[in-house]
Amino acid sequence: MSRLRVIGVGSPFGMDRIGLLAAERLLGMRDRLPQGTEVCLRDRPGTALLEDFEGADGVVILDAVRGGRAGHIRCLDPGALQALASPASTHGFGVAEVLALAVALGRMPERVRLIGVETGGDPQAEPPPQLVAALVEQALRTAWECARQAAHVDDCQAS
């Protein structure tokens, strides 16, 4: 069975709430998630996000990303995001920095998927309900994709 975590990251303000809102919806949709999936909400966790990686073989992170086209949902490459890590201050220790630290410490789960929602030029805008719903659907698809990959790996190892 996959040890998968879906983590909504954000803050209670504007578009930055969207990862938390989607994770909150997913908490009530356990029957649509792969068995054993844990759903967590994390308000600006900083390095504490690393704790959610412990014991997980797959992690799906839902978060807002600055810029881009407002409302565009983008599946981000964790490797590319790590390259942007710039731990200049622990106040600004975000998802990119946590991923880079996880790699450095050998604590990166086997599968990490990042689903970002672009804020466009107005990060203070309230997330529209249809966008939250679309993020939830994307999170469900990604969670199942991770679970299938984990099952495939398990099958290969068993044979």
Site string for another protein, 46-65 (x = CB under 8 A): -xx-xx--------------
Based on the shown chain and the rule CB under 8 A, indicate whether residue 23 belongs to the binding site for another protein. no
Among 29, 75, 105, 151, binds another protein (CB under 8 A): 105
Query: How far apart are CB 116 and another protein at their closest, in Å?
Result: 21
Q: What is the rounded CA–CA span in Å between residue 7 and residue 49? A: 9
Closest CB to another protein among residues 28, 106: 106
HSE toward the beta carbon, residue 38, CA cutoff 13 A:
15
Strand partners, 36: none
Kindly state whether residue 14 participates in binding another protein, applying the rule CB under 8 A.
Answer: no
The answer to the question of residue 44 lying near another protein (CB under 8 A) is yes
Position 146: which residue type?
C
**What is the DSSP-derived secondary structure letter of residue 31?**
G
159 binds another protein, rule: CB under 8 A: no
Using DSSP bridges, classify how beta strands 111-118 and 73-76 pair: parallel, antiparallel or unpaired: antiparallel
User: Which of these ranges, 68-76, 84-92, 123-131, 148-156, lies near another protein under the rule CB under 8 A?
Assistant: 84-92
CA 43-49-53 angle, to 5 degrees, is 140
Q: Is 3 in the site for another protein (CB under 8 A)?
A: no
